[in-house]
Amino acid sequence: MPMPNILLLAAGIFLLVLGFLMLLASGAGGKGEVKGGGVVLIGPIPIVFGGSSAKVLLIFLAIFIVVVALLMTLSFSGGGLG
């Protein structure tokens, strides 16, 4: 019986190859419009970029991530908010 780590590695490689083949079969190189954006967190400061209407959502997502990270840091360090 193969080791579980080898099975996970084989499953991961299989899924990568399958995804690549599905991408090729779907004709992903067709004509289409690409919209994008993103958030870069440098320390506690979020930098939001992009040209779509999702910019507001990305700003709120970045603020949420910063608050959750701060609360987790305080709770794991033994500190508290009060």
Contact in structure between 65 and 41 (CB atoms under 8 Å): yes
Taking only the tens place, the pLDDT of each residue in 8-40 is: 899 999 999 998 888 787 766 666 676 777 778
Report yes or no: 37 and 52 within 8 Å, Cβ to Cβ: yes
pLDDT at residue 59 in the model: 77
**At 43, is the pLDDT very low, low, confident or very high (cuts 50, 70, 90)?**
confident
pTM of the predicted protein model: 0.41
Question: What mean pLDDT do residues 44-65 have?
Answer: 76
Calculate the CA 7 to chain-centre distance. Answer: 25
